[in-house]
Amino acid sequence: MDLTLKIWRQKNAASKGKFVTYKISDISPNSSFLEMMDILNESLVLCGEDPVAFDHDCREGICGACSMYINGHPHGPDKAITTCQLHMRRFKDGETIVIEPWRARPFPVLKDLIVDRTAFDKIIQAGGYVSVNTGGIPDANSIPIPKVKADLSMDAAACIGCGACVAACKNASAMLFVAAKVSQFALLPQGRVEASERVQAMVAEMDNLGFGNCTNTGACEAECPKEISISNIARMNREFLSAKLGAQKPSGRTGSDA
């Protein structure tokens, strides 16, 4: 396949970026999108040019590192996959492909297609955990959990933290990301204990980091490579409301975490 690539190039966080056009030819339709980028980069290096920097690691859709905004969609045109799972057979010979980084204020560009997503780590640090220390835990089967609930929790827990939801949202809202974590725990007895503090702390941190509000456009769900359901946002809103109303007073927190 022969393709024209319009790629966002930006030297570093401080400099201004611009689109640069590259021609690339003889790409196998069986190669992955990132392998196509590898081939481009090999040729750039051989010409003494700076290759295009992008995040990637597992190349199988689970680490959440890859993050390209391709032809107007986070992770490209296909549903339910990450950039690294996208294959060139999805494109037409001769097509022009536009490749950009995630664009959202809380995710500043570091270089070319690499952005800084530490804001997501900060949200988790604010409360995305169950406060248990290592050791001294009762047997894993001491609390049975209905399969349906465990499965729903797993659906939410499948989030890979890539940030496509934020990139897809015109408000750069992180609601789907936060709601997925809040839901995973809220659905399990182990997580219920701190559900109220957790949702408040995580939402406060999200606001604090400059993520926008949710206006229910549903773009996040549509672009999520793991198909995390927007119903998690509804669940989080309920959790948040009942926490605010004090329906669930903080309880059961261990002393060390108070």
Q: Which residues bind ligand FES (CB under 6 A)?
A: 56-59, 61-66, 82-84
CB of 113 to ligand FES, least distance (A): 12
CB of 59 to ligand FES, least distance (A): 5
CB of 158 to another protein, least distance (A): 7
Is residue 188 part of the contact set for another protein (CB under 8 A)? yes
Residue 128 binding partner per list another protein, ligand FES, none, with a CB distance cut-off of 5 to 8 Å that depends on partner kind: another protein
Token code pair at residue 225: 């490579």
Is residue 132 part of the contact set for another protein (CB under 8 A)? yes
Residue 130 binding partner per list another protein, ligand FES, none, with a CB distance cut-off of 5 to 8 Å that depends on partner kind: another protein
Bridge partner list, 6: 21, 98
CB of 226 to ligand FES, least distance (A): 10
Angle subtended by helix axes 118-127 and 195-208, to nearest 10: 150
Is residue 130 part of the contact set for another protein (CB under 8 A)? yes
Residue 108 binding partner per list ligand FES, another protein, none, with a CB distance cut-off of 5 to 8 Å that depends on partner kind: none
Q: Are 52 and 33 in contact (CB under 8 A)?
A: no
E-strand spans in the chain? 3-9, 18-24, 69-70, 73-74, 96-100, 109-111, 114-115
The sheet carrying 96-100 orders its strands as 18-24, 3-9, 96-100, 69-70, 73-74
